């Protein structure tokens, strides 16, 4: 897929990995729709990118919100060819705490945002792509989802987060197989420890220690590196049904 002129949508696109992806897509000539729960930040980024960038406020867990955002992007661009799903949240709690069993509500919320929200974006974007005309290779689109190394190396306290990201990994291959007949590819990126807003509240010494736990390079991942891989997935037509770890050979310890 040639990204120049390609209509693209980034869910969770106003900050972190999503914002970096939106910026790189725009640099490569794509027409970008930034979809985020924080409408003000989404609008600010669209204004920064200029050109044909647009912004829509949406909660990825809302059927109506995502359907409306995708429909608006299709109307603005005349179609949809690429989507990146980057919206997500975290929660840390042991299965049994000093006060008893873990809270159920936070677990449900993390699953709803990270897994159900990802599927909600996937299904609406795929339906929009399926309505388009295929290119010379028979491709109608490509979708990138976001998991985490926690899907494989979940740490103590990460039951909810790891379960949600493991669900995204499990979704990848069957979604790619489901959508093969429409010429739509699906891949997932599983980042390691990245310098995103989720880590922004940590003291600098903690952030440095986290970076040094990565075998090589011994630093936090940069959102731009996630964006580079997302764009490469769009451009490489043989990448399909795969989850790619992006972690500098990190394997997470229990804690």
Q: What is the pLDDT of residue 208?
A: 84
Model confidence at 201, pLDDT cuts 50, 70, 90, reads low
**What are the start-end ranges of the H helices in the chain?**
16-27, 39-49, 63-77, 104-111, 117-130, 150-153, 159-179, 197-200, 204-212, 223-235
Instruction: Report the candidate in 173, 183, 195 with the shortest Cα–Cα distance to residue 241.
Output: 173
Beta-carbon count within 10 A of 136 CB: 5
Q: Write the pLDDT tens digit of every residue in 28-58.
A: 999 999 999 999 999 999 999 998 999 999 9
Q: What is the pLDDT of residue 199?
A: 76
Q: What are phi and psi of 42, to 5 degrees?
A: -65, -45
Residue 180 CA from chain centroid, whole number: 21
Query: Annotated catalytic residue: which of 91, 107, 161, 194?
Result: 161
Q: What is the pLDDT of residue 107?
A: 98
Instruction: Tell whether the model's pLDDT for residue 200 goes beyond 80.
Output: no
Catalytic residue flag (residue 56): no
Per-residue buried b or exposed e for 23-39, using 16+ beta carbons within 10 Å of the residue's own CB: bbbbebebbbbbbbbee
Length of the chain: 255
C-alpha 180/C-alpha 148 separation (Å) is 24
Instruction: Tell whether the model's pLDDT for residue 86 goes beyond 80.
Output: yes
Instruction: Tell whether the model's pLDDT for residue 209 goes beyond 80.
Output: yes
C-alpha 160/C-alpha 154 separation (Å) is 10
Lowest mean pLDDT across 135-149, 194-208, 235-249: 194-208
C-alpha 132/C-alpha 118 separation (Å) is 22
Burial label for 133, CB within 10 Å (0-12, 13-18, 19+), is exposed
pTM above 0.85, yes or no: yes
In sequence order, the 6+-apart residues with CB closer than 8 A to the CB of 135 are 1
Taking the domains of the chain in order of start, what are their residue ranges? 7-246
Instruction: Report the candidate in 6, 79, 5, 71 with the shortest Cα–Cα distance to residue 35.
Output: 71
C-alpha 61/C-alpha 172 separation (Å) is 19
Q: What is the pLDDT of residue 65?
A: 98
Tell me which of 1.10.1030.10, 3.30.420.250, 3.40.50.1000, 3.40.50.720 is the CATH number of domain 7-246: 3.40.50.720
């Amino acid at each position: 897929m040639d990204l120049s002129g390609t209509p693209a949508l980034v869910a969770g696109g106003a900050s972190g990995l999503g914002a970096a992806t939106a910026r790189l897509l725009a640099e490569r000539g794509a027409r970008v729709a930034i979809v985020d729960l924080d409408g003000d930040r989404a609008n600010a980024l669209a204004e920064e990118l200029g050109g044909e960038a647009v912004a829509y406020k949406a909660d990825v867990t809302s059927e109506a919100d995502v359907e409306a955002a995708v429909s608006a992007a299709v109307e603005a661009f005349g179609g949809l060819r690429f989507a990146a799903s980057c919206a997500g949240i975290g929660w840390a709690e042991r299965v049994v705490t000093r006060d008893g069993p873990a809270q159920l509500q936070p677990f449900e919320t993390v699953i709803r945002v990270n897994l159900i929200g990802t599927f909600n974006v996937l299904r609406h974007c795929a339906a929009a792509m399926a309505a388009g005309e295929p290119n010379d290779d028979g491709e109608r689109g490509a979708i990138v989802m976001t998991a985490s190394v926690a899907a494989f190396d979940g740490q103590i306290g990460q039951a909810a987060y790891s379960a949600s990201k493991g669900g995204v990994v499990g979704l990848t291959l069957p979604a790619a197989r489901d959508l093969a007949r429409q010429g739509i590819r699906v891949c997932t990126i599983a980042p390691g420890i990245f310098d995103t807003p989720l880590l922004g509240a940590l003291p600098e010494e903690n952030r440095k220690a986290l970076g040094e736990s990565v075998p090589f390079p011994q630093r936090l991942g940069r959102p731009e590196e996630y964006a580079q891989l997302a764009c490469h997935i769009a451009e490489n037509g043989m990448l399909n049904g795969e989850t790619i770890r992006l972690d500098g050979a990190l394997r997470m310890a229990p804690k």
